[in-house]
Structure 1
Amino acid sequence: MQTNIEIHTLNNVDISKLSALYNLSYQNYYIPIELTQEQFESKLKMEDIDLQQSVGAYINDELVGFLLYGIRFYKDVKTAYVGGTGVAPDKRGNKITQKMLDYSFSRLKDAGVQNIFLEVNTKNDFAINAYQACDFTKTRVLNSYKGIPTLIVNPLHAIVSFDDLNLITEENFWDIKPTWKNQIQSVKNIIDSCHINGIFEDDILVAYKIINKNNTRIYQFGVHRDYRNRYLASILFSDLKNKEIKMINVDEREISTIDFIQSLGLKLYDQQYEMKKEL
């Protein structure tokens, strides 16, 4: 019997039902995910998820699939980000994800979106093939690390809190652009949940890190280009010894960053591809 699947936006969705379906969809994923409703709502806020552009699949008025889109401008280019896609396990095999993708592309283009980014586990061949069939291409490999820092350094500099995010500039700190979840805008969206501290020399920010106070996830850290190779990153992390921390979406091309992360004692636990589609 043919299943009647309706696809439309999520602007009137019941958040509790969407949150429950999100957890259900990811319960047997490569890295299982389970968020409280509060954590799920924080994710939506952090990633600028636009429910008017996000898509849901319904069977007999029951939500059985979702495709979450965050919307932002990056260097004057309107960009979308897939913040999650999933289908209820008992409804898989009906090409629901493909239907949601097909429905969304023309809507996003009409809204002025030029690029779509997403992240997918490198082991998820089924999803990768589906995205490639929709003209997504791999742009980079992203590593995730976790562990308890073991590197102990005598803190020769004070680590101080600050709140002026304008001090963190691309030209001074970043060799490679952060992914959507780690961008400064994501931090601004949940600033009350973040702890930002750094090292200053002559009133110049020379090293910084941004960490979630609730789950000790590091969103960003960096050392000023003109102050590298002085153990500042090691000093910066000296206040986190004996605390388990996590870093996700580290570009594998950042060799020196990865060497430092591993020197802390953190271990690789997941890899994803970032993929991009131009509309």
Structure 2
Amino acid sequence: MQTQASYTFSFLREHDIPALYDTFVAAFADYVIPIKVSREEFAMKFKREGVEPTFCAGAFYGGQLVGFILTGLGEWQGIPTAYNAGTGVLPEHRGNQLTKRLYEFLLPKLRESGVEQCLLEVIKGNAAAYKVYRSIGFGVVRTLDCYRSPVGELLLSGEEPEPTVDIRQAVKPDWKAYAGFCDISPSWQNTKEAFCRNPDQKLVLEAYAEEQLVGYVAFFPRTGAIAQLSVQQDNRNQGIAKALLKEAIKHTQAPALLLLNIDQTSTTLANFLERIHLKRFLTQHEMLLRLQ
């Protein structure tokens, strides 16, 4: 452990990103769920989550970046928001309250810039991080579940949807219509804005019954990550979501489907995912800090 007085804090710039990637990989190598990303995937994460380098706070020791907060900027439920897209500290520098000190450094700039709240997710069971965020003033707003299963283990066969459903690729996604199908708000990285920002290949498939739009799935074929999946309330339990996923799999290169940060209060979606054998592998707390 290093001495407290040795650290300096500054906001990052574009030329810091290569070092930031190296620090990110090293900081998350021993995480609860080890995170491995390529430089290309790291750049996609920046785009998808709206990360602004000049709002990312870095902790330096002897000129080396040893801790950071990645900050995404945008609106969350209509309010100017800073999203924590990742906090990391190198193992040998933990125990120096760097996360708390990074926030102390970051928050004045956020307030001056008109940001009204900070949002983040923390893994349930990561007691140390949870305790730090609580001490800064974050409170839990909801609990989110993550699901993943190999494509071959999913139960998507059975009777065809009734009425007959036509699955089409959306040329121009109708996000306003989709919002009317949803019982829950998507997490930061699954919003319409995040989906559209992501430079990775993406697809939206729509389900039509008697020429009426009744469901959709928005996903990333390369990774198998599903950002949004919903069916119009009156058309549920008719096999439409299954039909959408079956068609999505045909376009997916990844060996598994992945749904991150699904609001736990959506029992309808949770029950469906369990029925088709998508397995919950992680639970997170979504936390919010009001600045105004």
Measured against the shorter chain, the TM-score band is over 0.9
Q: Does the alignment pair 1:271 with 2:283?
A: yes
Task: Work out the CA distance in 2 between the residues paired with 1:102 and 1:59.
Answer: 17
Counterpart AA for 2:137: D
1:162-197 CA distances to partner (integer Å, 9 max, x unpaired)? 132334546511111111011011110125511211
**For the Cα contact (< 8 Å) 2:49–2:189, is it kept in 1?**
yes
- CA 1:223/1:168 → structure 2, altered by over 3 Å: closer, same or farther? farther
Counterpart pick for 2:157 among 109, 129, 152: 152
1:114-143 CA distances to partner (integer Å, 9 max, x unpaired)? 111100001111110110011100111110
Task: Work out the CA distance in 2 between the residues paired with 1:113 and 1:186.
Answer: 18
Structure 1: tracts of 5 or more residues without a match: none
**For the Cα contact (< 8 Å) 1:154–1:235, is it kept in 2?**
no
Moved more, 258-267 or 147-156: 147-156
Task: Calculate the TM-score normalised by the size of structure 1.
Answer: 0.94
Task: Work out the CA distance in 2 between the residues paired with 1:166 and 1:21.
Answer: 39
- CA 1:228/1:150 → structure 2, altered by over 3 Å: closer, same or farther? closer
Q: Secondary structure at the match of 2:52?
A: coil
Counterpart pick for 1:113 among 98, 112, 115: 115
What is the match of residue 166 of structure 1?
A: 174
What is the match of residue 247 of structure 1?
A: 259
Counterpart AA for 1:48: G
Task: Work out the CA distance in 2 between the residues paired with 1:264 and 1:235.
Answer: 12
Percent of aligned positions that are identical: 28
Counterpart AA for 1:175: D
Task: Work out the CA distance in 1 between the residues paired with 2:209 and 2:170.
Answer: 14
What is the match of residue 80 of structure 2?
A: 78
1:183-217 CA distances to partner (integer Å, 9 max, x unpaired)? 01111012551121121234432111111111101
Q: Does the alignment pair 1:215 with 2:220?
A: no
- Match runs of 1:20-169 below 5 Å: 20-147=22-149, 148=151, 149-155=154-160, 156-169=164-177
The Cα shift of 1:222 comes to 0.6
1:33-69 CA distances to partner (integer Å, 9 max, x unpaired)? 0100000000000000011111011112211111011
Counterpart AA for 2:186: P
Moved more, 47-56 or 221-230: 221-230
Task: Calculate the TM-score normalised by the size of structure 2.
Answer: 0.90
**For the Cα contact (< 8 Å) 1:153–1:235, is it kept in 2?**
no
**For the Cα contact (< 8 Å) 2:178–2:215, is it kept in 1?**
no
Q: Secondary structure at the match of 1:173?
A: coil
Counterpart AA for 2:73: I
Q: Secondary structure at the match of 1:237?
A: helix
Task: Work out the CA distance in 1 between the residues paired with 2:245 and 2:189.
Answer: 21
Counterpart AA for 2:284: Q
Counterpart pick for 1:233 among 235, 241, 257: 241
Counterpart pick for 1:183 among 186, 191, 196: 191
- CA 1:170/1:205 → structure 2, altered by over 3 Å: closer, same or farther? closer
Q: Secondary structure at the match of 1:229?
A: coil
**For the Cα contact (< 8 Å) 2:178–2:216, is it kept in 1?**
no
Q: Secondary structure at the match of 1:196?
A: strand
- CA 1:85/1:192 → structure 2, altered by over 3 Å: closer, same or farther? closer
Task: Work out the CA distance in 2 between the residues paired with 1:2 and 1:73.
Answer: 35
Please provide the CA RMSD for this pair: 1.9
**For the Cα contact (< 8 Å) 2:71–2:83, is it kept in 1?**
yes
Counterpart AA for 2:72: G
Counterpart AA for 2:184: I
What is the match of residue 272 of structure 2?
A: 260
Task: Work out the CA distance in 1 between the residues paired with 2:146 and 2:230.
Answer: 17
The Cα shift of 1:13 comes to 4.1
- CA 1:75/1:263 → structure 2, altered by over 3 Å: closer, same or farther? closer
